[in-house]
Amino acid sequence: MTHEAFIQRLPKVELHVHLEGTLEPEMAFELGRRNGVALPYASANEMRAAYDFSDLQSFLDIYYASCSVLRTEQDFYDLTRAYLDRAIADNVRHVEPFFDPQTHTARGVAYHDVVSGIRRALDEALERDGITSKLIMCVLRDLSEDEAMAALRTALSDETTIDGIGMDSTEIGNPPTKFHSLYAFARAAGLRAVAHAGEEGPASYIRDSIDLLGAERIDHGVRCGEDPALVGRLIRDRICLTICPLSNVALRVVESIEDHPLREMLEVGLAVTVNSDDPAYFRGYIGDNYRAVTDALELTEDHLAELAFNAIVGSFADDERKIELLGELNAVTG
């Protein structure tokens, strides 16, 4: 089997994808027309051509501005459905997407419309395509803990449920310590916990996310190598890291895909996984990310099978579903 065919057939689990980051320029224009919201670009092609980022913040500024076209329950359904269609094409079998409700409620969109549009598409994908999911709400770490707490209370009181809490947005200057009470409250309410850490921020943010917030998985974590003791801890406790290779190149966390530490991380025993982050902005969905690292880092089928295995084990799927997915993986890897 060629690597291409092997990658295609791998049953994939995506643990790090922001639904707002799956908004393709064509859909942004379509929703903009539908909702009477203008975009600062003449065309979808011009919008795509503007995606040349120097760091995380330069991306976030464009990402939040483009969210202005998302207004109704149907918009959030359409966005999620389009992502799921792409995921199905890549043989994604389980997904745990993020959404950023504060970005939408700040513009007057009702939280319920956001979450119910997303849930409707996820429920339909389970029925129609057999894709299972867990939904993770992220709080914006550049805003206050009080604002995050208000968003969480709204989410917990909504009839449409969420499964987990995460945090994203501007990392540097917004340490995990800022959200200590929020995570304690979320975990007491039964939510699973993840956190972006060690993308642009220091390795200490990874450690504090685990120790102070109770994060069960670290989103990115690519800077953990700066602290060898932390690497030992992550290996020992099998803490899953959701690596996003094309994102890391686009946001200049690494210089090039050839320089990405993913292969070394895998070989020292870290529980790394491959994910897309914001695929509409970083030129690649999960399959593209698998192909890019396979070519650039000369990954073998054993490496690839381990990446897919780590994602199944690191997911929040229940044990029965994990066993099913491991069976699907075995059928491909022999």
The single residue among 277, 288, 306, 324 that binds Zn ion, judged by CB under 5 A, is 277
253 vs 292 by CB, closer to Zn ion = 253
Smallest gap from residue 281 Cβ to ligand ADE (A): 8
**Looking at 40-48, 186-194, 273-281, 318-326, which segment touches Zn ion (CB under 5 A)?**
273-281
SS3 sequence, the chain?
CCHHHHHHHCCEEECCEEHHHHCCHHHHHHHHHHHCCCCCCCCHHHHHHCCCCCCHHHHHHHHHHHHHHCCCHHHHHHHHHHHHHHHHHCCEEEECCEECHHHHHCCCCCHHHHHHHHHHHHHHHHHHHCCEECCEEEEECCCCHHHHHHHHHHHHHCCCCCCEEEEECCCCCCCHHHHHHHHHHHHHCCCEEEEEECCCCCHHHHHHHHHCCCCCEEEECHHHHHCHHHHHHHHHCCCEEEECHHHHHHCCCCCCHHHCCHHHHHHCCCEEEECCECCCCCCCCHHHHHHHHHHHHCCCHHHHHHHHHHHHHHCCCCHHHHHHHHHHHHHHHC
79 vs 304 by CB, closer to ligand ADE = 79
Q: Which of 20, 171, 199, 200 is catalytic?
A: 199
Query: CA Rg, the chain, in Å?
Result: 19
- Size of interface with Zn ion, in residues (CB under 5 A): 1
Q: Among ligand ADE, Zn ion, none, what does residue 21 contact (CB within 5–8 Å per kind)?
A: ligand ADE
Q: Which of 161, 219, 163, 230 is nearest to 195 (CA)?
A: 219
Smallest gap from residue 199 Cβ to ligand ADE (A): 5
Alpha carbon separation from 117 to 72, 80, 258, 324 (Å, rounded): 8, 8, 39, 28
The single residue among 15, 17, 31, 56 that binds ligand ADE, judged by CB under 6 A, is 56
Binding mask 141-170 for ligand ADE (x = CB under 6 A): ---------------------------xx-
The single residue among 71, 134, 196, 217 that binds ligand ADE, judged by CB under 6 A, is 196
Q: Among ligand ADE, Zn ion, none, what does residue 169 contact (CB within 5–8 Å per kind)?
A: ligand ADE
The single residue among 75, 216, 278, 288 that binds ligand ADE, judged by CB under 6 A, is 278
277 vs 288 by CB, closer to Zn ion = 277
Residues 207-236 that bind ligand ADE (CB under 6 A): none
Whether 199 is a known active-site residue: answer yes
The single residue among 14, 75, 78, 199 that binds ligand ADE, judged by CB under 6 A, is 199
Q: Among Zn ion, ligand ADE, none, what does residue 292 contact (CB within 5–8 Å per kind)?
A: none
**Looking at 109-117, 146-154, 269-277, 320-328, which segment touches Zn ion (CB under 5 A)?**
269-277
* Contact footprint for Zn ion (CB under 5 A): 277
Catalytic positions are: 199
Which positions touch ligand ADE (CB under 6 A)? 18, 21, 56, 168-169, 196, 199, 247, 277-278
